[in-house]
Structure 1
Amino acid sequence: MSIRKTIVALALVAAAVPAAFASSHTGWAGNERGVSLIEANTGTSTKTRAEVMQELQAFRNNPVAADGSRFIDNERGFVPAQHSYAFQGGTLVHTDTIAHNTVKPSVVLTDADKRRNRELYRR
């Protein structure tokens, strides 16, 4: 009789374990309240279809991104821009065309960012 009670108790515990670890999180597309974290761009463009097609054709003729990376047609997808250096007059100088005066990214959040994050991730 005690073996039967043990088996029934283990079955009840096994049934309750998944429910104990369940979460109300809806996945990568939303937070606990089900609000979507992906925002659609609802702005309208001022470009005509002809202008967009012209830009597409120009990109197809010279597939270079804004940072100097080249898009190639194979499984690798793109070749990132590389810095190149050379000694000129006894000093090491940059010989590439990549901008070296870009601003470093800031990890400081503004008050508006903090407020938005608190609203999105409130438990």
Structure 2
Amino acid sequence: MNIRNLAIATLFASASATSVFASQSLHWVGGEIGFIEHNIPSTVTRAKVMQDYQLSLQSKVDGSSGIQLGGDAGYLEPRHSYTVADGKLRHTDSISHKTAKPEYQHSATEHVVFSETYVN
């Protein structure tokens, strides 16, 4: 009776363990094989993909403001661009500039360690 209960418990444990890792893209196999990669469904809708595709056909600029250069040139990441107007620096790109600025201040000890490590 103990062996039967152990076998049933092992079966349930292995079945529940595989369901826990069902959403992972890599699974450990062990031995010489190592990992097996599994495709995971995307959360991007077909309409969004088609919209980006049509946009790239028209202007070679995708939804994230990156530029497809074509051929071996590849892809140019979106970059910030600025201009000076009325004596002030103005943003001319479409990238969000509302990210929080860090407020962390280094202590005197950290500043000394940083200077000794990274500054000539």
- For the aligned pair, the TM-score class normalised by the smaller chain equals 0.3 to 0.5
Give the number of the structure with larger relative contact order, counting CA–CA contacts within 8 Å between residues 6 or more apart: 1
TM-score, structure 1 length as denominator? Answer: 0.39
Structure with the largest fraction of strand: 2
Task: Return the structure number with greater helix share.
Answer: 2
